[in-house]
Structure 1
Amino acid sequence: MSIERRHQVFVSSTYEDLREERHEVIQALLELDCIPAGMELFPATNEDQWSLIKRVIDECDYYIIIVGGRYGSIGPQGISYTEQEYRYALDTGKPIIAFLHKTPANITAGKTESNAESKVLLEQFRSLAQQKMCKYWETSAELGSVVSRSLVRLIKTHPMPGWVRADKAADSLAAEEVLRLRKVIDDLKEKLNKSLIELPEGVSNLAQGDEDFPVTFEFNCDKDYEPWTFTRTIKISWNEIFEDAGSLMLDGISDNKFKEILNKIVETDYRDSGEADNDEHLKGFVNLRNFTIYWRDEQTIKFQLKALALIEYHSELSKWKLTPHGSSVLVKLRAIPKGYFDNNDEADVTSEVSACNEIGELETSKI
């Protein structure tokens, strides 16, 4: 939203010899919707004159000085009040344009310095003003035109705050602030979302991915109608564990459900691996059942997945749920790549679907 501003411009010069020129400059500023400020416009005040001048210069956006044929009255500092104003604006970093008479020799005698010392000081002051941006003029009418063009360019190259009507400032500034804060919020949201799905710092040193974890469990079976309990250990990768368990955490699962899932993962992997069939100690045993992961390994799996920022525990729901990072990782693990079924025979696909179905039975059996 564009906000209309008016710029205040301090007009500095000697006075009596440049009355007509000052009038043209002030008229030009008004036509540019600028607010002119100069000594002839100051109200009567008890404030120290120099303090007032400095305060007004500070409040102005731009400073212009008109130099004709006179140097002006010399103050206590040994320079004219006009030069003192100029040097103050220079020291405070105010954008400045000096407008110097093009041919001082053509100025009428009544508007030039008769004092030799003042003439020298005037030349030195002109040299000082020429070190910054300056323009030249011959007549008062020409001066008004030069000021208009020069100030328009200065405003473009050195934009300043300006003044705004109080009734318009509130709405405009509020709208600008809303847009600024909205951009800040959007940037922060983008950074937050990016940080949530990226691998957190410090995780790279933890066991993860295709690295195997030895899981210890026990199960029951029968021989000659007598129940037996065996303890075994099987290696399962972290990706396998998370791929199977994470897919059931979309809506969150309880601690007990988490344990049931891990038990089913252990059972499925143990049966599919063929270790049960090749175990000499299990010859003659039937009805393998009640697969139960050791409590310590169950806790290790939970907190390892939590440390990897894949899952988190919501105490208010008493459930384990996927984190945004975990959801991103799970999608990559479970999504089927292009051409997958062209590169896998039917037996492999059937086996994988069967394994997924066995894990999913934990959910459907409760319905």
Structure 2
Amino acid sequence: MLDKRYQVFVISSGLDLQHERVALFQALMNIGFFPWGLEQRTPQSNAIARRQIEECDYVILLLGAEYGELSVAGVSYMHLEYIYAVAKQKPVIVFIDLKSATAEQLSCDIQNYRKIQDFIVQLKHENAHVIYFKDVKDLEQLVRFNMMKMLEYFPSEGWVRPKREQQLQDEIQRLKTELLQAKTEIGIVRYSKSHQQDPLLASKNLWNTCFTFEYKMHAYLDGNFKEIYSKRQIEFSELLVLLSETFIRPASEEHFAQTINHFLNETALSDAREQIPRAHAVSRAQINLNDLQVLKQQFQSIGWIVPIAKDDRQRVLWKIAENGLIALQYCQETSKVSNQINQK
């Protein structure tokens, strides 16, 4: 049993896998998770689902043979909840019923079959944690094993029992001590920087290298759009310049994706035309979440943009660090010199 409790939002169609859903909830509660989800969907319940997704630690998608009730946009509420969870960068794990996912089970409704198959393709492309189960017992075992892995891969604060108040006080005191030590070390590092080593040397191997990532977008042709996938290579120095405008002041983690996606929306048309030569516009560009996570880790490890605190909604706030400002200044000076040379 876990010392902490974690809130899990469970997404399903609400139309099938009733026994599996009950078993999933029971398995989660047995290992210390609080499961939550909606079975009946309406436009009004969509707002409730979004609020619960924002507050949860993890998201589970339980997928069977049903695509689910459709919203006015023609997309199921189940699909919309998944899209919102991805947009909020929630760790998502997908469990798919192996029997229900076969063509024999789905072929009775060809439209439902096509939608569910397209959804599965999207899930496999966007999510590394897609798992098939054979029956209820198999699902229970997979949930217990993989949720422990999710805690390891995507640590979350969760909920702490009130009886551990003294332990919390001890933890707070320990963190205060570490903070004091960190401030002392920062002073030493600043002295070393001014007397011995240029901090740019620590990031020189990363500076001119390219970061390769996948992203998806809507490409428009003759009034219709098609969702396509593409790859982009951008130098880390260019990414630093791009993100520095956002993180010059503390900003929540979701601004990484928002800033890059906005940049892609403005520049992705040439990528789209490699696949659709007559495309005239693009929209809804979205960087692959796994690649985004790697990018954030790189920026944090090199000390360019780092987490500094949490806001009143317990969201992690990031800000450009001293090393990032030094690197940014170096980039601007290098660009200025290059322009002067070109003018001559």
TM-score, structure 2 as length reference: 0.49
| TM-score scaled by length of structure 1 | 0.46
**Which of structures 1 and 2 has the bigger CA Rg?**
1
